[in-house]
Amino acid sequence: MLTAVIVSSARGDRFVDVENQVALWRLWRSIAGFHTSIQCSEIMSALEECHARGFLWKSLGMCNEAKTAVNKCLRGARLERTAANREKAKEKRARIERVWREIDENS
Protein backbone atom coordinates (compact mmCIF):
# COMPACT_ATOMS: atom_id res chain seq x y z
CA MET A 1 0.00 0.00 0.00
CA LEU A 2 1.15 3.52 -0.81
CA THR A 3 1.92 5.36 2.41
CA ALA A 4 3.71 8.48 1.18
CA VAL A 5 3.63 10.62 -1.94
CA ILE A 6 5.62 13.56 -3.23
CA VAL A 7 3.59 16.74 -3.48
CA SER A 8 4.86 19.56 -5.67
CA SER A 9 3.99 23.12 -4.77
CA ALA A 10 5.35 26.62 -5.17
CA ARG A 11 7.45 26.04 -2.05
CA GLY A 12 9.05 22.93 -3.52
CA ASP A 13 8.56 19.20 -3.35
CA ARG A 14 7.75 17.50 -0.07
CA PHE A 15 6.74 14.08 1.18
CA VAL A 16 3.23 13.65 2.54
CA ASP A 17 2.25 10.68 4.67
CA VAL A 18 -1.03 9.58 3.10
CA GLU A 19 -2.24 7.55 6.07
CA ASN A 20 -1.62 10.50 8.39
CA GLN A 21 -3.48 12.84 6.03
CA VAL A 22 -6.46 10.48 5.94
CA ALA A 23 -6.48 10.30 9.74
CA LEU A 24 -6.36 14.10 9.98
CA TRP A 25 -9.14 14.40 7.41
CA ARG A 26 -11.32 11.98 9.39
CA LEU A 27 -10.62 13.89 12.60
CA TRP A 28 -11.56 17.15 10.90
CA ARG A 29 -14.76 15.56 9.58
CA SER A 30 -15.75 14.40 13.04
CA ILE A 31 -15.18 17.91 14.43
CA ALA A 32 -16.96 19.58 11.50
CA GLY A 33 -19.85 17.14 11.81
CA PHE A 34 -20.20 18.04 15.46
CA HIS A 35 -21.00 21.64 14.53
CA THR A 36 -23.40 20.94 11.68
CA SER A 37 -27.02 20.02 11.71
CA ILE A 38 -28.37 16.47 11.48
CA GLN A 39 -29.30 16.97 7.82
CA CYS A 40 -25.75 17.95 6.88
CA SER A 41 -24.32 14.99 8.76
CA GLU A 42 -26.52 12.62 6.80
CA ILE A 43 -25.52 14.24 3.50
CA MET A 44 -21.85 14.10 4.52
CA SER A 45 -22.23 10.40 5.27
CA ALA A 46 -23.69 9.88 1.80
CA LEU A 47 -20.67 11.67 0.29
CA GLU A 48 -18.30 9.57 2.38
CA GLU A 49 -20.02 6.40 1.18
CA CYS A 50 -19.68 7.61 -2.39
CA HIS A 51 -15.97 8.31 -1.89
CA ALA A 52 -15.53 4.88 -0.29
CA ARG A 53 -16.53 3.28 -3.58
CA GLY A 54 -13.07 4.02 -4.91
CA PHE A 55 -10.81 6.41 -6.72
CA LEU A 56 -12.34 5.92 -10.17
CA TRP A 57 -15.81 6.56 -8.83
CA LYS A 58 -14.64 9.90 -7.41
CA SER A 59 -12.45 10.87 -10.35
CA LEU A 60 -15.20 10.27 -12.91
CA GLY A 61 -17.45 12.73 -11.11
CA MET A 62 -19.92 10.23 -9.74
CA CYS A 63 -19.89 11.99 -6.33
CA ASN A 64 -20.39 15.51 -7.66
CA GLU A 65 -24.09 15.66 -6.81
CA ALA A 66 -23.43 14.56 -3.24
CA LYS A 67 -20.61 17.11 -2.94
CA THR A 68 -22.88 19.88 -4.23
CA ALA A 69 -25.55 18.86 -1.72
CA VAL A 70 -22.99 18.98 1.11
CA ASN A 71 -21.84 22.43 0.01
CA LYS A 72 -25.42 23.74 -0.13
CA CYS A 73 -26.25 22.29 3.27
CA LEU A 74 -23.11 23.68 4.91
CA ARG A 75 -23.72 27.06 3.29
CA GLY A 76 -27.27 27.11 4.65
CA ALA A 77 -26.04 26.20 8.12
CA ARG A 78 -23.37 28.92 7.92
CA LEU A 79 -25.92 31.54 6.83
CA GLU A 80 -28.18 30.62 9.76
CA ARG A 81 -25.23 30.81 12.15
CA THR A 82 -24.06 34.19 10.84
CA ALA A 83 -27.58 35.63 11.03
CA ALA A 84 -27.86 34.52 14.66
CA ASN A 85 -24.40 35.93 15.43
CA ARG A 86 -25.31 39.22 13.76
CA GLU A 87 -28.43 39.53 15.94
CA LYS A 88 -26.41 38.78 19.09
CA ALA A 89 -23.88 41.44 18.08
CA LYS A 90 -26.64 44.02 17.53
CA GLU A 91 -28.12 43.27 20.94
CA LYS A 92 -24.70 43.46 22.60
CA ARG A 93 -23.92 46.74 20.84
CA ALA A 94 -27.27 48.23 21.90
CA ARG A 95 -26.61 47.17 25.51
CA ILE A 96 -23.13 48.72 25.44
CA GLU A 97 -24.48 51.98 23.98
CA ARG A 98 -27.21 52.04 26.63
CA VAL A 99 -24.62 51.56 29.42
CA TRP A 100 -22.41 54.33 28.00
CA ARG A 101 -25.43 56.64 27.70
CA GLU A 102 -26.25 56.00 31.37
CA ILE A 103 -22.66 56.68 32.34
CA ASP A 104 -22.65 59.94 30.37
CA GLU A 105 -25.97 61.02 31.93
CA ASN A 106 -24.75 60.29 35.46
CA SER A 107 -21.40 62.02 34.99
- The amino acid sitting at 31 is I
Domain boundaries, the chain: 1-35, 38-107
- The amino acid sitting at 70 is V
The dihedral sign for the CA sequence 25, 68, 52, 45: positive
Q: Distance of alpha carbon 89 from its chain centroid, rounded?
A: 22
Residue 1 has pLDDT above 50, yes or no: no
Residue-wise pLDDT for 37-91, tens only, equals: 666 888 888 888 888 888 888 889 999 999 999 999 989 888 998 999 999 999 9
State which of 1-5, 26-30, 48-52 shows the largest mean pLDDT: 48-52
Q: What angle do CA 85, 42, 24 make, to 5 degrees?
A: 80
CB–CB of 91/75 below 8 Å? Answer: no
Query: What pLDDT is attached to residue 38?
Result: 67
